[in-house]
Structure 1
Amino acid sequence: MKSPVVKRSIVIAGHKTSVSLEDAFWAGLKEIAHGKDMTLSEMVASIDGGRGDGNLSSAIRLFVLDYYRDAARAARGI
């Protein structure tokens, strides 16, 4: 099952921007934000503030991947 890349608009720090993400990464981001009691805009602003030179879409993908990797490690006791 292939998840298409979809361009979505979001407001961060009062500015509208767009990110292109696969559905699975968007769903993961929403789940993480909900679990941290944050809005999507707050979560993306946090990711944006901590990213280096890469683009925002890539930074979000890496954030979601790292979050679930860390969760998997914690579940295994690593």
Structure 2
Amino acid sequence: MQWPVIVSRTVPLSDRRAKLRLESIIWNGLEEIAEQQRRPLRELCDEVNGNRPFGVALNSAIRSYVLDYFRRAERTPNNI
């Protein structure tokens, strides 16, 4: 097993700048989603930030978002 590489990036959100530490595979997935939706990565992160439940860390919310997105896409490949 190859262990994931953690990458830190600072993302501007509507209310602050967030320093996020995520696995490179999560960053890649997030960038792919943003590209498919034709929107900036910061906008996608801002949306996840605005919709995450109280008490859930943004890093965790983004991981869950990416996983859920690709799980749904796998079930319905033409409806991404």
> What is the TM-score of this pair, normalised by structure 2?
0.87
1:1-78 aligned within 5 A: 1-13=2-14, 15-52=16-53, 53-75=55-77
Q: Which amino acid aligns with 1:15?
A: R
Q: Number of aligned pairs?
A: 75
How many angstroms does 1:3 deviate by? 1.7
Specify the SS of the correspondent of 2:43.
helix
C-alpha root-mean-square deviation of aligned residues, in Å? Answer: 1.1
> Is there any run of 5+ residues in structure 2 with no aligned partner, and where?
none
> Is there any run of 5+ residues in structure 1 with no aligned partner, and where?
none
> What is the TM-score of this pair, normalised by structure 1?
0.89
Specify the SS of the correspondent of 2:17.
strand
